[in-house]
Amino acid sequence: MAPAFYRPRMDWHDWHRVYDDPDSVHARRLLTVRARIGEVLDAAPPGTVRVVSVCAGQGHDLLGVLAAHPRRADVRARLVERDPRNAAAARATVAGLGLGERVEVVTGDAALVRNYADVAPAALVLLCGVLGNVADEGMEDAVDRVSRLCAPGGTLVWTRNRKEPDRVPRVCAWLEARGFTRDSLSPPDVRQAVAAHRRTGPAAPLPPPDAPMFDFVGYDVLAEREGRDG
Ligand SMILES: C[S@@+](CC[C@H](N)C(=O)[O-])C[C@H]1O[C@@H](n2cnc3c(N)ncnc32)[C@H](O)[C@@H]1O
């Protein structure tokens, strides 16, 4: 019989059903992420706005904004997602919105910098639904490396659950020690925090092209490990 802590591995396509209930914490998080994306696009100087989405899923955040944003024609985006079903769903949305080649969906490993070639460093980097799936010991490196995809003046929009021990303050501190300024952060009672940090310091070199920036373990696997070890 399966031990009590056992849960089957997450199906990251089915995971997107969290958005079906408009009152869910994830649906509310999505609205906040979209608001932050909209603000970045509103404030972007004229010309091309480069965007990367790390572990993009079905692209509900960025594509939801691009559906109607006046700067949509200026956006050049790369969405990187490992699950081919999610990538296909994102591509279908891109086609449906008439975004053509401005938004490219790569089915691949979002941890590899080479998958962002020609787009990074970007004016907007989305790291949503990722940090809660990275083990504590790898989180600072993940933040350090992914933040390097962000150009000077660019914004990193990121999310992290507030489950105890709350790691959001640490992530803020890591970014702020690396030349980022906090533009916004959800209040502490919001279970799925959304933050926007802008690189106000100098550029940082991109991580090496083939060394993984992070290890997406999965929150289900992390919880399983905690049950076993703790
Ligand atoms: C929690 S979901 C978040 C999706 C999206 N960013 C959002 O907020 O709606 C995490 C996504 O990361 C994808 N993923 C996990 N590891 C990945 C990797 N190494 N490279 C690319 N995508 C990955 C999963 O397939 C899943 O779609």
Ligand 1, atom 2, residue with closest C-alpha: 129
- Tens of pLDDT, residues 86-119: 999 999 999 999 998 899 999 999 999 999 999 9
Ligand 1 atom with minimal separation from the 132 CA: 1
- Out of 9, 10, 12, 28, mutate this one to test ligand 1's pocket (max ligand atoms within 8 Å of CB): namely 12
Query: For the chain, give me the number of helices (H) and strands (E)?
Result: 6, 7
Q: For atom 13 of ligand 1, which residue has the closest CA? A: 55
205 alpha carbon to ligand 1 midpoint, in Å? 24
Conformation bin of residue 92: beta by default, left when phi > 0, alpha when psi is -120 to 50: alpha
Q: Is the pLDDT of residue 175 over 60?
A: yes
Which strands sit side by side in the sheet containing 192-199, from one edge to the other? 103-107, 75-81, 49-54, 122-127, 150-161, 192-199, 180-185
pLDDT surpassing 50 at residue 214: yes
CA of 153 to the centre of ligand 1 (A): 26
Q: Computed over its alpha carbons, how large is the radius of gyration of the chain?
A: 17
DSSP secondary structure string for all residues of 125-170: EEE-S-GGGS-HHHHHHHHHHHHTTEEEEEEEEEEEE-PSSP-HHH
- Residues whose CB is less than 8 angstroms from the CB of residue 154 and which lie 6 or more positions away in sequence, other chains included: 121, 122, 123, 124, 125, 198, 199
Q: Is the predicted pLDDT of residue 54 greater than 70, yes or no?
A: yes
Give 24-45 pLDDT, tens digit per residue.
999 999 999 999 999 999 999 9
Buried b (16+ CB within 10 A) or exposed e, 162-192: beeeebbeebbebbeebbbeebebbeeebeb
pTM greater than 0.85: yes
In tens, the pLDDT along 195-205 reads 999 999 999 99
| Measured distance CA(7)–CA(154) in Å, rounded | 39
Q: Whose CA is nearest to atom 3 of ligand 1?
A: 129
CA distance 151 to 205: 10
* Ligand 1 pocket mutation, candidates 82, 114, 156, criterion most atoms within 8 A of CB: 82
Q: What is the pLDDT of residue 3?
A: 46
SS3 call for 73:
helix
Cα angle 51-150-144, degrees, rounded to a multiple of 5:
130
Confidence band of 216 (pLDDT split at 50, 70, 90): very high
Q: Pick from 78, 130, 219 the residue to mutate for probing ligand 1's pocket: most ligand atoms within 8 Å of its CB.
A: 130
CA 145 to CA 118: how far, in whole Å?
17
Average pLDDT, the chain: 94
Can you give the pLDDT at residue 101?
A: 87
Please name the amino acid found at residue 173: A
Is the model's pLDDT at 7 over the cut of 50? no
Distance 212 CA to ligand 1 centre (A): 15
Integer Cα distance of 13 and 87 in angstroms: 10
pLDDT at residue 209, rounded to an integer: 85
pLDDT band at 186 (very low <50, low <70, confident <90, very high): very high
Residue pair 102/71 in contact (Cβ under 8 Å)? The answer is: no
Work out which ligand 1 atom sits closest to the CA atom of 53: 6
Nearest residue CA, atom 27 of ligand 1?
A: 57
Ligand 1: residues with CB < 6 A are 12, 15, 55-57, 60-61, 80-83, 86, 109-111, 128-129, 216
Model confidence at 5, in pLDDT bands (50, 70, 90)? very low
